[in-house]
Amino acid sequence: MAHKMITVISREDIARRVAELGEEITAHYHGQPLVVVCVLKGAFLFYADLVRHIRTPMEMDFVRLSSYGSGTSRGRQAVFTKDMEVDVDGKHVLLVEDIVDTGRSAEFLLHVLEKRGAASLKICSFVDKSERREVSLKVDFAGFPIQKGFIVGYGMDYAEQYRELDAVYELVPE
């Protein structure tokens, strides 16, 4: 199917907002050590930019969940395809997501990390599709609220394409 791509977030807006989020996060943790978890693959560019704006001692780790397959269809039950390596027991943990949509994958991660003894758990998401939530879950540090449309670029894909783009586009069927 052919798609048209419409810019929804420019690279300048991304840079500005990511720097602001880094400042908000820095202020929140005020120097406490933090485990910052990148939820692969979608968050990889956002994460790489964000951690360079956070001023607190950090351990970094990466997880990958099975998710949307290769299309735009809705999610299923989440499972790890790559688990964490850092022990989170007694530590402050910040999850970094590309998009929180239904909230089911973030809810799964929060549940697991809580059981593993995280001292505190917060979520930072580049995009917050808050109106589409199917579970009660709040994004603590949200980049951009976007409620509709399927977006790609800045790490986010459609069928593994477009992750490398440095702005965010909405895919509109032609």
Residue with the closest Cβ to Mg ion?
Answer: 42
Q: Check binding of 101 to ligand IMP (CB under 6 A).
A: yes
Q: Check binding of 42 to ligand IMP (CB under 6 A).
A: yes
Q: Check binding of 156 to ligand IMP (CB under 6 A).
A: yes
Q: Check binding of 42 to Mg ion (CB under 5 A).
A: yes
Rounded CA-CA distance 121/138 in Å is: 11
Query: Which position among 49, 87, 98, 101 bears the catalytic label?
Result: 101
101 in active site: yes
Question: 144 contacts which partner out of Mg ion, ligand IMP, none, CB within 5 to 8 A by kind?
Answer: none
Q: Check binding of 142 to ligand IMP (CB under 6 A).
A: no
* Residue of 40, 68, 116, 130 that binds ligand IMP (CB under 6 A): 68
SS3 for the chain is CCEEEEEEECHHHHHHHHHHHHHHHHHHHCCCCEEEEEEECCCHHHHHHHHCCCCCCEEEEEEEECCCCCCCCCCCCCCEEECCCCCCCCCEEEEEEEEECCCHHHHHHHHHHHHCCCCEEEEEEEEECHHHCCCCCCCCEEEEECCCCEEEECCECECCECCCCCCEEEEEEC
Q: Check binding of 75 to ligand IMP (CB under 6 A).
A: yes
- Indicate the residue among 42 and 143 with the shorter CB distance to Mg ion: 42
- Contact of 170 with 13, CB cutoff 8 Å: no
Q: Check binding of 95 to ligand IMP (CB under 6 A).
A: no
- Indicate the residue among 88 and 107 with the shorter CB distance to ligand IMP: 107
* Residue of 13, 28, 140, 150 that binds ligand IMP (CB under 6 A): 150
Catalytic residues: 101
Residues that bind Mg ion (CB under 5 A): 42
